[in-house]
């Protein structure tokens, strides 16, 4: 799916937070039902259960449109319309989706309350454009849009606290898999539930929101209510992946995080593992850690970012790399061959060269995510709020070294090695 930089993705977890907004949503739902009946679009009255589903879709759409109106850049809202998504894909788990969702969109358009900028379509096997809508001026007669009362909107917890996905297809997409509950999956879900419960009551704010909201790189609103996390496992295997997703801070630029996030009223520190995956690979191979910067393959510091991306791609790939990883080639001299680069990496890191091309990276990611879960839970037991970010946590500045100690301890406990390098970044303190 192709996303415009000024597109907000529909969030099915948004709901009315205030009684005033709930009343407005109910009135909007009734207006849509009356129009449906009066226009003859529906011959029979809806059953109570169907009416409830329809109302839920209207509520989620209304809340998304309120947030959309509060975003300064004036984006469009990308809404799913394909049956493959609404009934069989990632949307199948949400009660918001179904025919009632499409009917609600069509009803809003028919009443002139939204404008359909584009119906989604498929350009090629790899490029698909989403359907786009935006509120019309008439919608302000039904919802608080002048000005947009975005603080009247909340996000409920995702029912799917853990998600199992297939491997990526040729288009780079990975479908969600339905799974049977076991004692292990229930344990994983309980872990996420406890983390979300702690984060829900934590003192987390985003500065400079009085002037309006903004979008993150993930196409979601940057707002402190978005703190419900889920854990995503890969390749139809509970032993692979497991990274956390869903937090508003994950879609922010690095500099934005330091400038805007406040935890317990303080600026934040970024506490992270350095060179984590290759260090975990050396531990897995039971080999001594190399001296110096693991990613300095050329020995003079040149092309470090390219070597870093390439090395991690080789740890994740299943077989030899056929193409340069995206954003890598620019870091190397013109005419530099991929085969030359991979051979140099294998020679520089001969002790773990046999692990390249084995897909080990997803297992290392599972270990990384297990450590992050342990760190967050431990810090929560101390009353310290930690926002996970792949191989790092964001904490209040005063808690940075408490977090660093927790990360060192978690690495040693998980691997039996004390080779972790944990860095603390206060940015422009």
Closest CA to 163 of 219, 93, 232: 232
DSSP codes of every residue in 251-299? GS-HHHHHHHEEETTB-EEEEEESSHHHHHHHHHTT-PPPSS-TT--SS
Please state at what angle helix 19-38 crosses helix 99-110, rounded to 10 degrees.
80
Task: Count CA within 13 A, CB hemisphere, residue 256.
Answer: 16
Banded model confidence at residue 23, pLDDT cuts 50, 70, 90: very high
DSSP helix, strand, coil percent of the chain (3-state; round to 5): 45, 15, 40
Structure tokens at 223: 């707002």
* pLDDT above 60: residue 171: no
Digit-coded pLDDT (tens) for 233-272: 999 999 999 999 999 999 999 999 999 999 999 999 999 9
d(C-alpha 249, C-alpha 173), whole Å? 23
**Non-local CB neighbours of 120 within 8 Å, separated by 6+ positions:** 81, 82, 128, 129, 130, 131, 132
Mean pLDDT of 123-145: 84
pLDDT of the residue at 74:
87
Owner of token pair 């060179």: 275
**Averaged pLDDT score across all residues of the chain:** 91
- The H helix count followed by the E strand count for the chain is 11, 18
Banded model confidence at residue 83, pLDDT cuts 50, 70, 90: confident
d(C-alpha 405, C-alpha 383), whole Å? 15
* pLDDT above 50: residue 418: yes
What Rg value do the Cα atoms of the chain yield, rounded? 24
pLDDT of the residue at 273:
96
Give backbone dihedrals phi and psi of 229, rounded to 5 degrees, phi first. -105, 155
> Which H, E and C letters describe 168-179, residue by residue?
CCCCCCCCEECC
pLDDT of the residue at 282:
96
- Residue pair 330/306 in contact by the 8 Å Cβ criterion: yes
Closest CA to 195 of 220, 165, 228: 228
pLDDT of the residue at 306:
95
Digit-coded pLDDT (tens) for 358-395: 999 999 999 999 999 999 999 999 999 999 999 999 99
Digit-coded pLDDT (tens) for 104-116: 999 999 999 999 9
């Amino acid at each position: 799916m192709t996303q415009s930089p000024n597109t907000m993705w529909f969030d099915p977890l948004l709901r009315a937070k205030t009684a005033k907004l709930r009343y407005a949503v109910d009135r909007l739902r009734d207006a849509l039902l009356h129009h449906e009946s009066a226009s003859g679009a529906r011959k029979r009255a809806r059953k109570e259960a169907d009416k409830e589903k329809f109302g839920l879709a209207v509520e989620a759409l209304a809340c998304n449109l309120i947030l959309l109106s509060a975003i300064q850049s004036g984006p469009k809202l990308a809404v799913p319309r394909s049956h493959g998504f609404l009934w069989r894909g990632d949307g199948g788990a949400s009660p918001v989706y179904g025919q009632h969702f499409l009917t609600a969109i069509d009803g809003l358009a028919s009443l002139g309350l939204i404008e359909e900028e584009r119906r989604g379509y498929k350009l090629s096997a790899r490029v698909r454009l989403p359907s786009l809508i935006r509120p019309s001026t008439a919608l302000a007669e039904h919802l608080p849009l002048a000005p947009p009362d975005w603080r009247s909107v909340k996000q409920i917890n995702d029912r799917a606290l853990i998600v199992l996905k297939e491997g990526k297809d040729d288009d780079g997409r990975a479908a969600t898999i339905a799974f049977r509950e076991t004692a292990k999956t229930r344990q994983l879900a309980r872990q996420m539930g406890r983390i979300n419960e702690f984060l829900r009551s934590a003192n987390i704010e985003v500065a400079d929101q009085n002037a309006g909201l903004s979008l993150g790189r993930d196409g979601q609103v940057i707002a402190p209510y978005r703190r419900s996390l889920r854990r995503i496992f890969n390749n139809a295997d509970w032993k692979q992946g497991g990274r956390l997703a869903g937090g508003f801070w994950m879609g922010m630029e690095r500099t934005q995080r330091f400038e805007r996030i406040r935890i317990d009223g303080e600026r934040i520190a970024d506490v992270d593992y350095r060179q984590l995956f290759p260090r975990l690979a050396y531990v897995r191979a039971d080999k001594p850690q190399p001296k110096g910067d693991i990613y300095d393959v050329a020995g003079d510091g040149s092309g470090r970012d390219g070597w870093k991306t390439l090395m991690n791609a080789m740890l994740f790939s299943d077989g030899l790399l056929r193409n340069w990883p995206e954003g890598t080639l620019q870091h190397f001299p013109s005419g530099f061959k991929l085969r030359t680069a991979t051979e140099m990496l294998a020679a520089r890191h001969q002790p773990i060269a046999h692990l390249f091309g084995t897909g080990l990276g997803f297992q290392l990611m599972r270990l990384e995510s297990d450590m992050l879960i342990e760190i967050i839970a431990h810090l929560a037991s101390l009353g310290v709020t930690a926002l996970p970010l792949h191989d790092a946590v964001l904490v209040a500045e005063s808690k940075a070294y408490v977090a660093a100690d927790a990360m060192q301890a978690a690495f040693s406990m998980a691997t039996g090695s004390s080779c972790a390098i944990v860095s603390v970044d206060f940015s422009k303190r």
